[in-house]
Structure 1
Amino acid sequence: MAVRLGLGLPQMRQYDIGRDVPDVARAAEETGYESLWVFERILFPEPATQGLYNIPGLPWPDAYRSVADPLVTLALAATTTRRARLGTSVLVAPLHVPFQLARALASLDAASGGRVVAGLGSGWSLDEYAAAAVAPFEQRGEVLDEVIDVCRAVWGPDPVEYEGTLTTVAPSVVGPKPKGPLPILLPANSPRALRRLVDRADGWMPVGTGAEALAEQWRRLQELAAERGRREPVQSVLRVNTELTGKNYEGADRRPFQGSVAQIVEDLHAHAAVGVQEILIDLQGRARDAAELKDLAAEVYAAARAAGV
């Protein structure tokens, strides 16, 4: 069975969000993409307090200067699609009030007919935490845990009742409810995060940095799931951040998913062989506008399927 393919929606500053998001979403679904995805960046600090991903000296990509709100973007996509799942990869959960985020995701799921996938993460940007977080950066793991708990409570049967560090819900009716099971997916970038995923989440959201590394991560995840007695299968969506070029990248320093469409597809094939269920392909950064993004998305999809991905 072929791996499912998803597409990252246009959120960056070269796009007209109100016009291009519904247009690209509709075209992607018609092409055959089975899911549509968004990410979250809320600001672009100048100068940055820290490097990208907390790596000293690593600059933030210029594309992060303007990124549309993820849930607004998915709501726009929901209006012009009927089948494609609508996912976040990822929402930085501690930048949101837990109860309000749970309600927003439930409302979007109800409105879209049960198509939402909640990919949640704890984030890495000190500047974003200073601007928007509900708790200090050092408490990000605890806040993520509470967000998961609040989501499970709010999405469950009424009366909803919950008491945590940030959130207290007296017995209440809270609606609308999700249309169907609303899965929570998490990255796993540390031993603690891996345990959280195995114990509390429905699935895994790795980033494509090489097929061998992915296989090793998948092996560790499966071993831990067995050790901790998990019985439910782990859903998996691989995020692929592409760096498309007009021709083959010939350098020995080529990174995974860097180069021509043929090289991107070669990497997709290698990563799919590890056993992930779905691959999210983000092409928006290199496209000049929505028309080019749609053309690239169609070309990559056709080439991937022709190659057996």
Structure 2
Amino acid sequence: MRIGFTLPQFGELAHHPQHVARFAREAEALGADSLWVGDRLLDPVDPKVGYAGTDVIPPEFRSALDPFALLAAAATATERVQLGSNVINAPWYPPAVLARSLTSIDLLSAGRLLVGLGTGWSPEEYEASGIPMAERGRRLDECLDILTAWWTRNPVEYRGEHWTVPASHIDLKPAARPHPPVYLGAFAPAALTRAARRADGWLPIAPVGRKYAGSDPIADLVRNLAGVRETVEKEGRDPARFDAILRVNPDDDASVEDIAATIARAEREAGLTHCFVELSYLAKDVEQALDLAGRVLERARAS
């Protein structure tokens, strides 16, 4: 199992951005295989929609660093680890701007970028970004079209319902060929179908902690992954080439043993070969984050 960790981006960790490069460098030295960012814009005072099926939003989201800046910092501080996003909320960004940022990060990292995209869930974040939330699925589809064109054609031209790229010379292409792998975060049926039809892989989540004791996220993962791969095959694609990278999302009461057990089950029961651990709820500073990363790696690889 390849194991990665989130970069210091949210909560208390976000207040010390000067340590991001050091975390990336030392996590790589510990044996981490990948480093990840998310994409939070704000934490509304009275949210219309809570996080992960709840009525509230974690206080960690009140402090958030920019995902592109963190990926660029990690790219220049490391040599081996892959760099991923889970997820960039693609409809917030003009696709040409997004393509430029992702291409730059892929080149900075010499082709180590894993592009994870999604649509988000917060009405207030859509309001702040100036994009109608009802259009998010259609805008994501157009974004995927434009990213493919941006990375594989020259000149590039696109005219859609929501986005336009005038015929343009785009000489700078990603180091990864033909382009960085694109994963989609998806849970609703239509989103899962989009992932099966259009993406290189899926980004599922496995929560860990006492408040999830009545559920079995790995059993859910096994069932949902089988369904997605069945849809991949119906779309005329090879399900064996459709990847999945698991986000292990521990609550603040989860132990290293809980996390390692979840990773072991994901490998044994779902056949996954890559996961990463969210550290925002467990670590208050970079030293604690690195200590957790080291202990998770040691425990998981001893299983």
Which TM-score applies when normalising by structure 2?
0.91
Query: Amino acid of the residue matched to residue 200 of structure 2?
Result: D
- Provide the identity percentage: 38
Q: Which runs of 5+ in 1 are unaligned?
A: 246-258
Q: Which amino acid aligns with 1:276?
A: L
Matches within 5 A, 1:6-155: 6-15=4-13, 16-53=15-52, 55=53, 58-133=55-130, 135-155=131-151
CA RMSD after TM alignment: 1.5
Give the deviation of 1:208 after TM superposition: 1.0
2-structure distance, mates of 1:283, 1:231:
34
Distance of 2:189 and 2:46 partners within structure 1 = 32
Partner-residue secondary structure (3-state), 1:79: helix
Q: Does 1:212 align with 2:209?
A: no
CA contact (8 A) 2:252 2:282 kept: yes
For residue 65 of structure 2, give the secondary structure of its aligned residue in structure 1: coil
Instruction: Indicate yes or no: 2:267 matched with 1:268.
Output: no
Q: SS at 1:269's partner residue? A: helix
Task: Determine if contact 2:11/2:59 at 8 Å carries over to the other structure.
Answer: no
* In structure 1, distance between residues paired with 2:81 and 2:198: 25
Q: Report the Cα offset of residue 175 of structure 1.
A: 4.1
Which residue is equivalent to 2:238?
231
Show the counterpart of 2:157. 161
Secondary structure of residue in 2 paired with 1:29: helix
Letter in 2 for 1:204: W
User: Which amino acid counterpart does residue 284 of structure 1 have in structure 2?
Assistant: S
Aligned to 2:194: 196
The two structures have a TM-score, normalised by structure 1, of 0.89
**Quick one: distance in 1 between partners of 2:124 and 2:41?**
10
3-state DSSP of counterpart to 2:12: coil
Q: List runs of 5+ in structure 2 lacking aligned partners.
A: 208-216
1:109-168 deviation line (CA, Å, top 9, x unaligned): 1111011111000111000000004x3111110011011111111111311111112322
> Which letter does structure 1 place at the counterpart of 2:265?
A
Q: 1:277 matched to which residue of 2? A: 273
CA contact (8 A) 2:200 2:243 kept: yes
Letter paired with 2:22: D
Relative distance call for 1:48 and 1:191 in structure 2 (3 A) is closer
Contact 1:110 / 1:176 at 8 angstroms: preserved in 2? no
Q: Distance in 1 between matches of 2:43 and 2:129?
A: 13
CA contact (8 A) 1:265 1:300 kept: yes
| Larger helix share, 1 or 2 | 2
Deviation per residue, 1:183-235 (Å, 9 max, x gap): 11012312211221111111110011411100001110121122221126111
Q: 1:221 aligns with which of 225, 228, 247?
A: 228
Q: Distance in 2 between matches of 1:81 and 1:172?
A: 33
Contact 1:18 1:76 in 2 (8 A): no
SS at 1:40 equivalent:
coil
Supply the AA of the counterpart residue of 1:199: R
On the 8 A contact 2:49/2:121 being kept in 1, the answer is no
What SS is found at the alignment partner of 1:46? coil
Q: In the aligned structure 2, how far is the partner of 1:45 from the partner of 1:190?
A: 23
| SS of residue matched to 1:22 | helix
In terms of mean alpha carbon deviation, does 204-213 or 167-176 score higher? 167-176
Distance (whole Å) between structure 2 residues aligned to residue 13 and residue 300 of structure 1: 21
